[in-house]
A and B are shown apart, each in its own frame.
Chain A
Amino acid sequence: MYRISSESDGLWQTIERIKKVEDTEIELVVSGSSPLLENLLAFKILKARAGQLGKNLRFLFDDSNYAYLEELLNGGQVRSPVDSSNLPHTVSAEKFRLFGFLSSLPRPHFNFRRLSFGPTLLLLLVIILITAGAVFVFYFSPHAKVTLTVDSEPLVKVIDIEASPNITTVTKDPPSVPAFEITAEAKQSESTPSSGQKEIGNKAVGRVTIYNKTTADVTFPAGTTVSKSQINADNLNFITKSDVTVPARTADPAAQSGYDPGTAGVDVVAGSLGDEYNVSSGSIFSVGTKATSDFVASNQDSFGGGSRQEVKVVTATDAAGLLNSLETALQSGLKKTLLDKVISGQTINEDSINYEVVSKNYDKNPGDQADSLTLNLDLKASVLAFSQNDLNSLVGQLLSNYVPDGYELFGKDQNVQVQSSQYAGGVLTVTARGTGFVVPKIDQNEIKRELISQRVSRANEILTSLGKISSYSLSRSGLNLLPFMPFRAKNLEVVVIRK
C-alpha cells in the first residue's frame, strides 16, 4: 500500500503522481484545503483513471467534515487512521477553499463603553416622533370607498303544486296548499228544428200473366222478379207473391208460330214505394233471368195503389248538438256564478272547473217524425279555490332551493303565474311558473382583505378581475400622499349595490 497526499494538487497533477507510483494499492490522503473537494466528479475521475492504469485507489480525508465523501468513494470501507506526522502536508493560513472562506472574514466588534447615550436618546426621540407622524399620515389618515355594482339575473322555475281540500296548511314537501270547493247549479230548456228526413207511402199491386214458349213446364217460386224496362230510367221491378207453374207450349198449326204458349197468372207487388209503379195494362215484363224469347209476362189490368211522400224526423246529431249548445250556454253562466262566489285573495283556475250533468230530458227520440226537438238540461259546476298568497309564499320558499352556488335571491318580489292545472281524484295539480331574481354573492370582507395596502393600480386590477360585478367605483379620501389603498381595514369601506 502506497500513500500519497493531496493538498493543492489539481486533477492533472494528482493523476501524474499516481502514474509514477509502482505499487498497485494506493491511498490518497486528501487534506481539507484540497481544491478537489466538493466536486465528486473529480474523485470519480481519479478513481476510474487509476483503475485504467491498473491501480486501486482509496481516499482518506483528514478533515472529518468530508467523511461522507470517504464513505461514498471507498464504498463504505472503514478508513484506516491517517498518520499525519508522516505526511508532508502543510496548510497555509492564507489559503482556504471557496466554501470555507467564511472563517477568515472579519467579525463585527462592538465596544459599548464608547457609546454616548445623550445624543442617541435625542435622536431616538426624533425618530420616534417622525415615525409616529408618518404612521398617522400613511396608516390612519387614508380612507377609501369601493362601490361594487352587481346585476341581478332572472331565476325561473316551473313547479307542480297540489291544491287539496284535505289539508289546512301550506307544506313544502310535497308542495301543497289548502283548497276548498265552490259549486253552482243551473237549469235551462232549448229547442232545435229536426234535421232528418224519411219517405212514407204504398207499393203498387197487380196481376200478370206469364207466357211459356218452351216445351217444358216451368215453376217460378214466390219472390221471382218481373221487370218492366224503361227508356232513360231504371227498370221497374215487381215481386211475385206466390209460386206459379207455367205449362209448356202446345202445338197449334193455325198459329203463325205453329204453337200456343202455356200461360199462368200470378199476383205481384212493386219492389219500391211510388206511383211510377202504377203501370198501365198491356205492359210487357221479363221474368226472372229467363230470356224473353222463352218467357214473358203481361198485365191485362193496370196496376194501382202505388204512392210515396217525404216527412221530417229527429236525428241523433240533433240531440247531441242541442246538448252541446245548451251545455255551453249553461257552463258560461255557471263559470260566472263561480267567479262571483270567489272572494278577494282566493283564486281559481277556470280550466279546472268540473261540470256534471244532473239531468237531461228530450221530448223526442232520434227517428221520431217531428219538426223540432226540445231538451231540458240541469247542470252542476264545481271548482277548487286556493289562496294566491299561499301559492306565492310556497313558490318563494321553493325558489330558494334552486339558487345556484355563489348566488343569492335578491328582493322579495317573486312573480308567480299558474301555467296550467289539472283536477283529478279530488285534488288540483297546479303547474306554477315562479320567477325570481338572483345576484352573485359578494364576500365584502374577502375583497377588503385583498385590497388592503395594495397599490391603487393593483387595487384597480383586482377589482377589474372580479368576474361577478358589472362595474365598480373607487374613491379615496383623507391624506392620500402615497398611491396605496388604506392600510387599516377600518378605513376601507366596501359597498355592494345590487340592481
Chain B
Amino acid sequence: MLNFLKNFSAKSKPQSIALLDLGTSSVKAAIVDLTTFTPTLLGFGEELFKNGTILSGLVSDLNDFQETAGRALRKASLACGFTPPGLVFPLSGEFVKSVTVDLEVKRPTAGRLGRGEKDKIEKEIKRQVAGEIKKEFSRISGDPSPEVESFYERVVSFESSDGIGLESLAAVIEPTFKVSVLASFASSPTRKLLEKISRGLNKKNLLVFDQTVGLLDLIKKTRGNFSAVLVDVGFQVTDVCLVSLGKIVGERTIPLGGRDLTINLCQKLGLTTEDAEERKRRGEFSPSEAADFFKLWTYSLDQSLTEITQGSKFARIPVYFFGRGIKPENIREALGEFVKGSSTSFLNFLDVYGLDKGLTPEINYTGADNNHLSFLPLLSAVEVFQKSYVPDKF
C-alpha cells in the first residue's frame, strides 16, 4: 500500500507562483506566470517591517512579520489581479544556509546498478548529506546537537573516481564514484515559521531554498564553474558565501548591514537618521566618515571566511557584492584601505558585480515596471523553482 500512496505524491507544476523574500528590513513579493516559454513577472510588491520586528536578522515580532508578508503579497497581487495558491520562499540571512557535500561512494563490485542497489546508495547519500548538514550547522550555531532540517537538495555532479562526468546513477559502472550534493538547510523551527506564514496567507508552501543558490545558478550561466565570494549586503545582516569551482563551500551571516552604516554616519557627522540614510543611499559620504563601521565590517568578512574555510587559505579570489544601493566605486574605495592590513588574502582583490554586467534572470517583465532590478535575488529563484520540476538526477 505504501507504493500506492507514493504514486499519488507525484507533483504537477503550477501555472503561476508567488515568491516571498523575507528580508531584514522588508518583505518583497513577486508573482510569476510559468505558462509562458520564458516566465513572466506579473506583479511585485515590497512592504517594510515595523522598527524592531527583526533584530540582527532574527524575528522579534512574529505578528508584524506575518502581516508584512501578507501586505507585500497583496501589493503584488494588485498588479495582476490574482494570487497564486503556491508560495516559494527563497530565503537568506539567518533563515537558511547552504553547503555542497562531496561524497565518495564505494561499492563491492563494478557494474550497472541494480534497482535495489540504486535505492540503497540513494538512501546512503541522503543519510550522509544529513550528517554533513548537521556538522555544518553545528559550526554555525555552536550548538553541538542542533535540530536542523534539509529544505532543498540537488545533485550538482556525478563523477567517476578519475574525474569523468557521469549523467546519473544509471550511468555508473565503476565500483567507486563521487557525487556532490548542494543542500540548503535551517533549524527545524524555521520550517514551522514558514508553515505558519503559509497558513496565515491561506497558501500552499511549494519550495523553500537558499537565495544564494539562485544567484549561484545565475552567475554560472555566464562564468561557468567560477570561484568567488558572494556578499549580499542587507539592511541588518550581510550574507557571505564562499563559492569554489561553482560549488558552495559554506555560508555565514554577519549581523552587520546598511543600518549600522547609517548609525555610524549619524554619530560621525551629527546627522538625523533620515539624512544619514539619504546620504548613504546616494553614496554621498567618504569611507573615512564611516571608518568604524567599515573596519568592523571588513574584519567581520575576514572572520566569516576564516570560519567557512576553517583556517585554510585561498588564493586571490574575487568578491562580488550584491545589495540595494551598492555602488561598485563606493565599495571599492571604502574597503580598499582597510583590506591592506587584512590578516587573510580573501579581500585582496575586489570586484563588485551587479545587474549592470548582464546578470539578468530569464524573466519577461511585461506588466511590471523597471523597479524589478532590485528584485534580482528574488527573481533568480524562479529558475531554481523550474529546475525542481526536472526529474531528479538520481
Contacts and interface: CB of A to CB of B under 8 A. Distances in A.
Contact of A98 (B193, B263, B304): B193
B112 to A, nearest CB: 9
Interface in A22-63: 35-45, 48-49, 52
Interface string A88-102: 000000111111111
A69 B255 CA distance: 17
B196 A453 contact: no
B38 interface: no
B190 A98 contact: yes
Contacts of A43: 142
A452 interface: yes
Contacts of B105: none
Instruction: Report the 3 A-B pairs with minimum CB-CB distance, sorted nearest first.
Output: A35-B56, A35-B55, A40-B142
Interface string B263-279: 11000000000000000
Interface in B217-254: 236, 252-254
Nearest to B188: A99
Given A10-B236, A12-B256, A39 B3 contact: no
A47 to B, nearest CB: 10
Query: Which of A8, A42, A44 gathers the greatest number of chain B CB atoms within 10 Å?
Result: A42
A15 interface: yes
B260 A10 contact: yes
B56 A98 contact: no
A35 B236 CA distance: 11
Contact of A41 (B55, B236, B264, B303): B303
Helix, strand, loop or mixed for chain B's interface? helix
B61 A49 contact: no
B56 A41 contact: no
Interface in B298-323: 299-300, 303-304, 307
B4 A484 contact: yes
A105 B66 CA distance: 13
Interface residues of B, number: 44
B57 A35 contact: yes
B33 interface: no
B141 interface: yes
A41 B140 contact: yes
A305 to B, nearest CB: 102
Nearest to A452: B3
Interface in A303-356: none
Contacts of A96: 59-60, 62
B366 interface: no
A98 B255 contact: no
B58 A45 contact: no
Interface string B99-125: 000000000000000010000000000
B296 interface: yes
Given A11-B56, A38-B58, 9 more contacts: A8-B52, A12-B256, A41-B252, A43-B142, A45-B299, A45-B300, A95-B52, A95-B61, A99-B189
Contacts of A45: 254, 296, 299-300, 303
25 contacts: A8-B55, A10-B56, A11-B56, A11-B296, A11-B300, A35-B55, A35-B56, A38-B143, A39-B56, A40-B139, A40-B140, A40-B141, A41-B253, A45-B296, A48-B303, A49-B296, A52-B299, A97-B60, A98-B94, A98-B189, A99-B190, A101-B59, A104-B62, A454-B7, A458-B7
